Chain A
Amino acid sequence: MTLDGSPPRRVGEVVEANSASFTAQCYTLYDAPPLGCIVSAGSPEIYGVVCRVATEPLDSSRPVLARGETAETEEEVFRDNPQLTRLLTSRFEALIAGHREGDADRHYLPSLPPPVHSFVYTCSPQEVARFTSRLDLLRLLLNSGPPMADEVLGACLRGAAVAHDDSEAFLLRAGKALAAELAGDLPRLNSILKKVSP
């Protein structure tokens, strides 16, 4: 998925996976897909929604230290410590939202998560539009558990809307589907709707 319309590209590799989510490491520091982005991993594709992006030390036993006290700019910090880019890495976690089976999208969990070292790609707008033509993923996301689930959902819908020809209609449809899911929880519905309101 590319909010800026750039073609799909390989952004990383699965380093950890379970039935509900997988974690990928980016090839390039700070080059993670944005929150809510729909990515695919493995073949046949397993689709996920980016729910957490983190940049952290490669070796968790060696915490990162502040180094820029004497530097003028932030760029200077990296220029003066070229090893830093090698000590840090960007990782992202994606909630599995469905998968491809034959010619069809399946909007439920695959029987197995993607294997470790599967390549992870962003999706083309067509692919996003196709996958979000059904909105079952809303339910998955709503029930996914992370404290920020609603934020992820909002970001995902905003992003997916761009991929649809009529984004407003898509958002309205998504809004109504959300309303059906959250019929008994108006405050939550209200807060998500505010995030996606065009």
Chain B
Amino acid sequence: MTGGPNQNGDTPSPAADVDLDSQGAALGLVVDGSLSQGVEVRLDPSASVEDVKVGAFVTIRGDNNNFFGVVTDVSLGTTDPRLKHTPPQVDNPFIAQVMSGTVAYGTISVLPNLIMPAVMGDSHEGPSAAKTIPPHFSRAYVASQRDVEAVFGQEDQGHFWIGSPLDMEHKLCVDLDEMVKRSIGVFGKSGTGKTFLTRLLLVGILQQGQASSLIFDMHSEYGWGAADPENHRFAKGLKQLFPARVSTFTLDDDSSRRRGSSTDEVVRIGYGEIEPEDVEMLRETLNLSEVAASAAFNLQQKFGQREWMSKFLALEGRDSVFEMANEIQVQPNALGSLYNRLSRLKRFDFLVESTRQDAANRVVEHLDRGQHVVLEFGKYGRDLTAYMLVSNLLTRRIHNQYVDRKEEAEGGQGREPRPLVIVIEEAHKFLSQSVASHTIFGTIARELRKYNVTLMVIDQRPSGIDSEVMSQVGTRLTCLLDNERDIEAVLEGTPGSRQLRTVLARLEPKQQALIFGHALPMPVVIHTREYGSTDSYEQLSRSAAGWTAPALGETIETHEERLDREISELFPEDG
């Protein structure tokens, strides 16, 4: 006798006669609750409190709706308060068995977030936000793979398997189509798995085939790959997994060669490409005063964009700088400090007087071919100035091209540029309150995907990001954070942030993430999909092989078209 008897102890539990494939294990009955606080489920004697964990998914069968929710609390209850003072004879197994689940029982609190579509698998009708709760005595079950799929989507071209819900083997998928429509944030303190999670997302974006990505690879870990000392192995990068669809650019040729990374292009940047706006953004890193930084605009006016930097740095001696200051009417000391700080850039070997090839154009050419571009920084990744300078400069130029093309396309000429996701690390440096308002990254974050460009920001100090920018980050994936201000910043503007706060602070220190935002029907904690084992590579590249990206210009199948096609493939018409 295993199925929990109900109160009268005389009818077998209905769970016994339901198809087990479509339904998880029975948990218990709804006995109390409210929409705001969630419902209380009294556990069947057969379900142990120890097997139910906070964050786990539960489905509740109401009279007319199936509810999908998450366990927010687990507690112990008793019908007789005397139990606490005079515990029954639990050394008698019979008595213990009788008592557990009857006078002494477990309860779970479930927040029913969603109402599931009535017809499972009907793609037109996704889950909707729950505006009511299941009635008394509705039965609750552990959510099954099918339930999870009905809510988060089934693994397919648009839905990428990113991990599994807590304590479940099921695959949890994210809707990448939705996700890349707005900016994405990957947060977490150091060593929690941001890079691995980002690698997975990038593989997903690559497979999904609707967007290109441009990765400013600070630590040179996304292109060729990097050692994973903790697992005693090497974590492959995109180029190794998908050599034909990824182009690697490098700023530091030597480093790339030493690491065995096969690079497609070496990036050189001419002084003429550096604009006063870049200097503005580097103000903090270069420790420049506002006046000093703005002097660059005067220089630009004097010498013109292509020349100002090289002419300025060609000045020799203090006197000539001061003379120049007089000439362009800026404070001599300010110009002097600008001169000193900018002279530091000279040690960057990738900065040259003039280049034949324009790096931004080269990147765009590769992107146009449907390639994903990784720019490896090599040794310059250790220099924040170099990282910010190059990312900002290239992004600005690429963004300009996208703006032009998008406008042309809207005017009826030419094709729309392929959607682009730009990946940056140390995002708070680019998006801090002081610079976000006038740098290209702030602009991109704010204009959403008006010009088909969105950001993927990776950061361990989300509190440093301007809150207006943060509010534009559509989907947030956050690994463990322990700084209060960071937690607050990440959860800001999210409904239910109070409950999420406890969840976030309780994440495992590695390979777990809380993900939420507009691409997800509800917040969920995942155990991030394994990345780095031979099996994982095989799975990742196998699904990619099955879903070849549509050729450029080819219209991309809509969800309905895909369904139609799949149906006709399954049931070909005669003849």
**Could you tell me which A residues sit within 8 Å of B by CB distance?**
133-136, 166, 169, 171-180, 182-187, 189-190, 193-194, 197-198
Contacts and interface: CB of A to CB of B under 8 A. Distances in A.
Contacts of A177: 5, 8-10
A184 B83 CA distance: 10
Contact of B95 (A134, A180, A183, A194): A194
B8 A180 contact: yes
Given A183-B79, A186-B86, 14 more contacts: A133-B10, A134-B8, A173-B1, A173-B5, A176-B9, A176-B98, A177-B8, A177-B9, A180-B9, A183-B80, A187-B82, A190-B89, A194-B89, A194-B92
A58 B207 CA distance: 97
Interface in B1-41: 1, 5, 7-10
Contacts of A180: 7-9, 102
A198 B86 contact: no
B88 A186 contact: yes
B98 A186 contact: no
B97 interface: yes
Contacts of A171: 94
B9 to A, nearest CB: 3
A40 to B, nearest CB: 21
Contacts of A174: 9
A175 B97 CA distance: 9
Contacts of A183: 79-80, 102-103
22 contacts: A133-B10, A134-B10, A135-B8, A136-B8, A171-B94, A172-B1, A172-B98, A173-B1, A173-B5, A173-B9, A175-B98, A176-B98, A177-B5, A177-B9, A178-B98, A183-B80, A186-B83, A186-B88, A189-B103, A190-B95, A193-B94, A194-B95
B86 A179 contact: no
B226 interface: no
A136 B102 CA distance: 17
A198 B10 contact: no
Nearest to B11: A134
B103 A172 contact: no
Contacts of B9: 135, 173-174, 176-177, 180
B101 A176 contact: yes
Interface in B60-111: 79-80, 82-83, 86, 88-89, 92, 94-95, 97-99, 101-103
A191 to B, nearest CB: 10
Contacts of A194: 89, 92, 95
B45 interface: yes
A186 B95 contact: no
B95 A197 contact: yes
Interface in B507-527: none
Secondary structure of the A side of the interface? Answer: helix
Nearest to B102: A179
A95 to B, nearest CB: 20
Chain B contact patch, size range: 20 to 34
A187 B82 CA distance: 9
A188 to B, nearest CB: 10
A176 B86 CA distance: 19
B80 A193 contact: no
A179 B103 contact: yes
B316 to A, nearest CB: 94
B10 to A, nearest CB: 5
Contacts of A186: 80, 82-83, 86, 88, 103
B10 A176 contact: no
B79 to A, nearest CB: 4
A176 to B, nearest CB: 5
Contacts of A172: 1, 94, 97-98
Given A166-B1, A183-B80, A186-B86, A193 B98 contact: yes
A190 B99 CA distance: 9
A168 to B, nearest CB: 8
A187 B95 CA distance: 12
Nearest to B10: A134
Contacts of B79: 183-184
Nearest to B6: A180
Given A134-B10, A183-B79, A183-B103, A176 B94 contact: no
Contact of A175 (B8, B86, B94): B94
B455 to A, nearest CB: 58
Contacts of A169: 1
A157 to B, nearest CB: 12
A61 to B, nearest CB: 48
Nearest to B2: A169
A194 B96 CA distance: 11
A78 B379 CA distance: 115
A171 B1 CA distance: 11
B95 A176 contact: no
A148 to B, nearest CB: 21
Contacts of A176: 5, 9, 45, 98, 101-102
List of 9 A-B pairs having minimum Cβ-Cβ separation, nearest first = A177-B9, A175-B98, A179-B102, A183-B79, A169-B1, A197-B94, A186-B80, A180-B7, A176-B9
A198 to B, nearest CB: 6
B71 to A, nearest CB: 25
A174 B5 CA distance: 10
A189 B87 CA distance: 12
Interface in B191-236: none
Given A186-B88, A187-B86, A193 B1 contact: no
A193 B92 CA distance: 10
A178 B97 CA distance: 13
A133 B11 CA distance: 10
Contacts of A173: 1, 5, 9-10
Contacts of A178: 98
B13 to A, nearest CB: 12
Contacts of B102: 176, 179-180, 183
